[in-house]
């Protein structure tokens, strides 16, 4: 019998920290949080040809296509805006990624929807937020969402695709809606 060894979980804690990872047609991007707030996992992206896009809850624009597809571009599928409870009383949302071949950079973001609609002052440090990326090749990356800056949009990390080599970088930036509109390619898709 062959020796089987687990790859260790890598947690990105510092802004700008970067790590390479691999996956062969299956990457799970999961948002976990402990507060009662309506958090939304979104992945916005810039394509290699300069185009922009994203996958996010279809509740923003009422279009089922906003959830994406694993069978055609963007080869990402948002599993819906259902808050799935997990062990430890966390809530979870998930996006599955089949490939990033046409994507230059993807931005994993969390939108504090309830606070944005109500105009409440919030920080993500109070939400118990973290993002996990799990690949079918055994890579397990975690990015802690612990910013104490006020804002509704938390750009947690970016995924860079350079000729099939993927890397995750902790971005750790919190924006109000207008800054997110200006700085995150594709964010404009969920705004008026």
Residue whose structure tokens are 């996992």: 41
Give residue 186's pLDDT.
97
How many domains does the structure of the chain reveal? 1
Strand segments, DSSP code E, in the chain are 10-12, 18-21, 27-33, 39-47, 52-55, 68-69, 76-78, 84-85, 91-97, 103-112, 129-135, 140-145, 153-162, 165-175
Phi and psi at residue 134, in whole multiples of 5°?
Answer: -125, 125
Which is higher by pLDDT, 39 or 44? 44
pTM of the model: 0.90
C-alpha 176: how far from chain center: 17
User: How far is Cα 141 from Cα 80, in angstroms, rounded to an integer?
Assistant: 22
pLDDT 10s digits, 169-179: 989 899 999 99
Arithmetic mean of pLDDT, 79-107: 85
CATH of the domain at 102: 2.60.60
> How many C-beta atoms surround the C-beta of residue 6 within 10 A?
7
- Is residue 96 in some structural domain? yes
Residue 1 lies in a domain: no
Q: Is residue 111 assigned to a domain? A: yes
Look at residue 134 in the predicted model and tell me its pLDDT: 92
Residue 38 is classified by DSSP as -
Neighbours of 59 (CB within 10 A): 14
* Nearest-angstrom CA–CA distance, 144 and 132: 9
Residue 3 lies in a domain: no
Question: Tens digits of per-residue pLDDT, 12-26?
Answer: 888 888 888 888 889
Q: For residue 106, what are the domain limits?
A: 10-37+46-190
More confident residue, 121 or 47: 47
167 in any annotated domain: yes
5 within domain boundaries: no
Q: 139, 7 in Cβ contact below 8 A?
A: yes
Q: Quick check: helix, strand or coil at residue 187?
A: helix
Give the three-class secondary structure for 69.
Answer: strand
Residue 2 domain-assigned (yes or no): no
**Residue 106: its pLDDT value, please?**
97
What's the whole-number mean pLDDT along residues 103-132? 89
pLDDT of residue 128: 80
| Domain-embedded: residue 161 | yes
pLDDT of residue 42 exceeding 60: yes
């Amino acid at each position: 019998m062959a020796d089987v060894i687990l790859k260790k979980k890598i947690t990105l804690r510092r802004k700008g920290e970067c790590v390479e990872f691999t996956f062969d047609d299956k990457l799970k991007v999961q948002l976990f949080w402990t507060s009662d707030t309506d958090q939304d996992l979104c992945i916005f992206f810039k394509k290699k040809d300069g185009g922009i896009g994203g996958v996010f809850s279809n509740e923003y624009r009422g279009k089922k296509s906003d959830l994406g597809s694993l069978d055609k571009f963007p080869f990402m599928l948002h599993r819906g805006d259902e808050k799935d409870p997990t062990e430890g009383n966390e809530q979870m949302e998930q996006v599955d990624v089949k490939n990033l071949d046409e994507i230059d950079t993807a931005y994993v973001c969390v939108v504090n929807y309830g606070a944005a609609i109500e105009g409440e002052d919030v920080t993500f440090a109070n939400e118990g937020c973290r993002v996990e990326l799990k690949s079918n090749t055994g890579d397990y990356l975690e990015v802690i969402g612990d910013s104490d800056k006020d804002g509704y949009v938390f750009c947690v990390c970016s995924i860079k695709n350079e000729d099939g080599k993927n890397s995750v970088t902790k971005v750790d930036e919190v924006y109000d809606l207008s800054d997110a509109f200006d700085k995150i390619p594709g964010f404009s898709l969920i705004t008026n």
